[in-house]
Amino acid sequence: MISIKNLHASIGDKEILRGINLEVKAGEVHAIMGPNGSGKSTLSSVLAGREDYEITEGEVIFNGKNLLDMAAEDRAREGLFLAFQYPIEIPGVSNINFLRTALNEIRAYHGQEEMSAKDFLALVKDKSKLVELDSKLASRSVNEGFSGGEKKRNEIFQMAMLNPKLAILDETDSGLDIDALRIVASGVNKLKSKDNATILITHYQRLLDYIVPDFVHILYKGRIVKSGGKELALELEAKGYDEIKKEFELAD
Amino acid sequence: MSLIAENKSAVTQTLLDQLQNNASKVAFMPDSEIVSAIRYLEDKGIPNNKHEDYKYCNIEGILRKEFKSVEQSFNALIPEDIAPLKLEEAINLVVVNGNYVSALSEKMIVRGLTVKAFNELSALEKNLLSSQAKSESDALIALNSAFCGNGLYLEIENANVIPMPIHIIYVNSGNGNCVVNTRSFIRIGPNAEATLVESFYNIGNSKVFSNFVSEKLVEENAKLTCFTFQNEGSLSYSVHTNQAKIFKYGNYSNMTATLSGELVRNNHNVVLAEPNCEAHLNGLFITQGTQQVDNHTLIDHQMPNCESNELYKGIAKDKSSGTFNGKIFVRKDAQKTNAYQSSKNILMSDDATINTKPQLEIYADDVKCSHGTSTGKIDTEALFYLKARGIGEDTARKLLLQAFAQELIDKIEIPTLQERVLHLFEESL
């Protein structure tokens, strides 16, 4: 699905990713954990195509194509989806119009015809149930006046609508109460299949009680310093990040 | 205090000479008004950028550069020229090169509606002309008073509600460089209501300097809802002065959409002359190339319990420029005034310019006034969010700019007009 090799990225003079290696196959769920400032959000931004970062070294192959050569919109059209940590409010652009435009641009990219209004609305109805999103929210402006939980559910709703191959969930659990967390996690679980893959980026183990990962990676100072199964997350929860910091301080 | 050029300029004198040579024998304004208008013009001259109110809009410079000699030779228009400009849901009235043309206008007998050319006015009605727009307040009003054509007088009598919009189509069409002075007078009698659309066009291949003045009276408990549609094209340089006066419990609103015109200067002056009346001024413009759109509003709160609202938005592309200058006076008797003003702009290129200047002068102590202005580039975070969902850069930009303009486009309650504005707006993005 995606193969990240020796990825280095900087913002200004500051190198934030310092040689990331990661291989994610179809059907897998990977969790990337790490303390604040370890580069988690930078990794998701770089993969999604945010232009604030300079890639200084390395390569990313996504379904056989060089991801780093593609514009952000083409990455999305190829099936990459980023659930934003802080979904932005866009007053005046309705959720529905936004999603219809997105869906049809993706379809056009793959040489498919536009989806009919009827089919589109049926899809909206179906997928909004998945995250228990009030149908009224679908017709409002993108994220405008949404609560924190509604914004995160809207991200998963969009993911359901666009049906990506690889979803990167950037701190999707942050700011969610336990009920909202359950709804979001159940949505993600229902969308999981043997043909798609998920990368969960999170600070806390909590989310992983609901979405069980196949692999857990610990990111520290721009590198993956440790990888393991789901038990690694529990170990990390028990010991805290200080242990990791101590262990890998020397490698700096 | 304004900086005003004290001596008549050569440009003004040349223009005056040419216009006087070509003026028709019939004058439509009261004689005394014409005399004082010309005297004022000779004294003050057409404003240039040294004049505080015309700092970003050098009218004298444009006349010097683009209208050194004026032919004053005009094309007559035929119904086929007008047909595409009409609005199907409205009564369409036509003013060509400053003269009301009854033959091109729709005749409809609507209770309470009077439409006349200036040369058909009674002495009493004629006295109303120039009662609101005073020559001594602005040289361009003076220019219009001195040389205006056979303009349009529209009146809604007491307590009549006109059930369909009235659409005045102002078209200019010159054969060689022309200066057109178009004038109208709109009176909405007590308890009457009307919706008025004023559209501006320039047909043909000649440059036109269009100097438009409209006086509007909204009497006690009357309501006038106006939409101004400016699409005069790249050969047009225009100044539009709207001088409105609102009486008690009156309600006046205007939404101006500026979609083309090499230069468009809008002077929107509203006097809230009696208690409990309200005014709403809104504007949307999109400029490209070297276009210049200069919006000046002046809302004069003279009496208590009145309200005014202003929302102006602009998008400037290429090397174009836009201005919003909003003055609000709250006189000492105007207690309990509510006055709000907002101007928001988006710059689409490094060479585009937006100037904004809110000016509030408040002499009463129990008032609520606020103003806000912002000018920036398109929101890159929002742009990235849209792109991250597979929407291409171009489409994403258009979505955001449409979203920016939507609340103003929504105010255009006339479907055919809204569609026309939206279509041209989208085309300009």
pLDDT of residue A106: 96
For chain A, give the number of residues.
252
Residue A62 has a pLDDT of 96
CB atoms within 10 A of CB B224: 25
Residue A98: inside a domain:
no
Q: Which residues of A touch B391 (CB under 8 A)?
A: 73, 98, 101-102, 105
Distance from CA of B404 to the nearest CA of A (A): 7
Has residue A107 been placed in a domain?
Answer: no
Token pair 């509203």 is found at: B270
Same domain membership, residue B266 and residue B117? yes
pLDDT tens across B243-285, in order? 999 999 999 999 999 999 999 999 999 999 999 999 999 999 9
Model confidence at B8, pLDDT cuts 50, 70, 90, reads low
DSSP class of B106: P
Query: How far are the Cα atoms of A151, A203, B208, B407 from residue A147, in angstroms, in the given order?
Result: 6, 21, 54, 23
- Mean pLDDT of all residues belonging to chain A: 91
Do B209 and B62 have their domain in common? yes
Asked if the structure places residue B48 within a domain, the reply is yes
Is B56 inside a domain boundary? yes
Q: Are A105 and A72 within 8 A, CB to CB?
A: no
Contacts of A73 in chain B (CB under 8 A): 387-388, 390-393, 396
For position B5, what pLDDT does the model report?
Answer: 45
Answer whether A135 touches B (CB < 8 Å): no
Give the ipTM: 0.95
Q: Look at B7 and A4; give whichever has higher pLDDT.
A: A4
Which of B232, B251, B274 lies at the terminal end of a domain, its last residue?
A: B274
Name the residue in chain A with its Cα closest to that of B392: A73
Q: What is the pLDDT of residue A176?
A: 86
CA B255 to chain centre: 10
Flag whether pLDDT at B322 surpasses 70: yes
- Tokens 């919109």 correspond to A73
Which residues constitute the domain of residue A83?
2-92+129-135+144-249
B386 CB near a chain A CB, below 8 Å?
yes
Q: Residue A251 — pLDDT band, cuts 50, 70, 90?
A: low
Residue of B315, B391, B393, B407 best to disrupt the A interface, most CBs of A under 10 A:
B391
Reading the block at residue B19, the tokens are: 């216009």
Is B409 contained in some domain? yes
In a domain, A9, yes or no: yes
B422 close to A (CB below 8 A)? no
Considering the domain architecture, whether residues B31 and B177 belong to the same structural domain is answered as yes
Helix (H) or strand (E) holding B242: strand B236-246
Is residue B348 assigned to a domain?
A: no
Banded pLDDT at B63 (limits 50, 70, 90): very high
Write the pLDDT tens digit of every residue in A150-159: 899 899 999 9
pLDDT surpassing 60 at residue B91: yes
Q: Tell me what pLDDT residue A136 has.
A: 77
Burial A209-241 (b: 16+ CB within 10 A, else e): ebbebebbbbbbbbbbbbeeeeebbeebeeeeb
DSSP, res B74: B
Q: Does the distance separating the beta carbons of A90 and B382 come in below 8 Å?
A: yes
**DSSP-derived secondary structure for chain A:** -EEEEEEEEEETTEEEEEEEEEEE-TT-EEEEE--TTSSHHHHHHHHHT-TTSEEEEEEEEETTEEGGGS-HHHHHHTTEEEE-SSPPPEEEEEHHHHHHHHHHHHHHHTTPPPPPHHHHHHHHHHHHHHTT--HHHHHSEETTT--HHHHHHHHHHHHHHH--SEEEEESTTTT--HHHHHHHHHHHHHH--TT-EEEEEES-SGGGGTS--SEEEEEETTEEEEEESTHHHHHHHHH-HHHHHHHHHTT-
Pair of tokens at residue B130: 């120039």
Residue of A nearest to B403 (CA): A92
Of B242, B274, B306, which closes a domain?
Answer: B274
Q: Between A48, A92, A142, which is nearest B388 by CB?
A: A48
Report how many domains make up chain A: 1
Residue A105 counted as domain residue: no
Specify if B330 maps to a domain: no
Q: Which tokens sit at A112?
A: 């498919």
B90 in a domain, yes or no?
A: yes
Assigned token pair, B16: 């005056």
Question: Which of the listed residues B274, B297, B329 is the one where a domain comes to its end?
Answer: B274
A115 within some domain: no
DSSP reduced 3-state for B244 = strand
Interface test with B, best of A47, A86, A101, A154 (most B CBs within 10 A): A101
CATH number, position A41? 3.40.50.300
Q: In whole angstroms, what is the distance from residue A185 CA to residue A207 CA?
A: 8
**At a CB cut-off of 8 Å and minimum separation 6, what does B221 contact?**
B190, B191, B248, B249, B250
CB contact under 8 Å between B390 and A84, yes or no, is: no
- Look at B388 and A98 and tell me if their CB atoms are within 8 Å: no
Is B381 near chain A, with CB under 8 Å? Answer: yes
Q: Is residue B209 part of a domain?
A: yes
Q: CA-to-CA distance for A194 and A214, rounded, in angstroms?
A: 13
Q: Are residues B264 and B413 in the same domain?
A: no
**Residue B343 maps to a domain:** no
- Coil, helix or strand for B233? coil
Place of tokens 């002077």: B267
User: Rounded to whole angstroms, how far apart are CA atoms B426 and A24?
Assistant: 43
Cα separation, B358 vs B361, in Å, equals: 10
Which residues in chain B touch residue A90, judged by CB atoms under 8 angstroms apart? 379, 382, 385-386, 400, 403
User: How far does the CA of residue A38 sit from the closest CA of chain B (Å)?
Assistant: 22
Residues of the domain holding B97:
10-274
- Tell me the angle at which helices B393-409 and A95-109 cross, rounded to the nearest 10 degrees: 160
Same domain, B254 and B385: no
Q: In the structure encoding, which two tokens stand for residue B400, read together?
A: 């955001």
* Rg of chain A over all Cα atoms, to the nearest angstrom: 18
Number of structural domains in chain B: 2
Cβ pair B387:A88 closer than 8 A? no
| Residue B147 reports pLDDT greater than 70 | yes
A66 lies within 8 A of chain B by CB: no
**Beta-strand (E) ranges in B102-149?**
113-117
Which chain A residues touch B400 with a CB distance below 8 Å? 90, 93
User: Is A7 a member of any domain?
Assistant: yes
Q: Per-residue pLDDT tens for A160-217?
A: 999 999 999 999 888 888 888 888 899 899 999 999 999 999 988 888 989 999 999 9
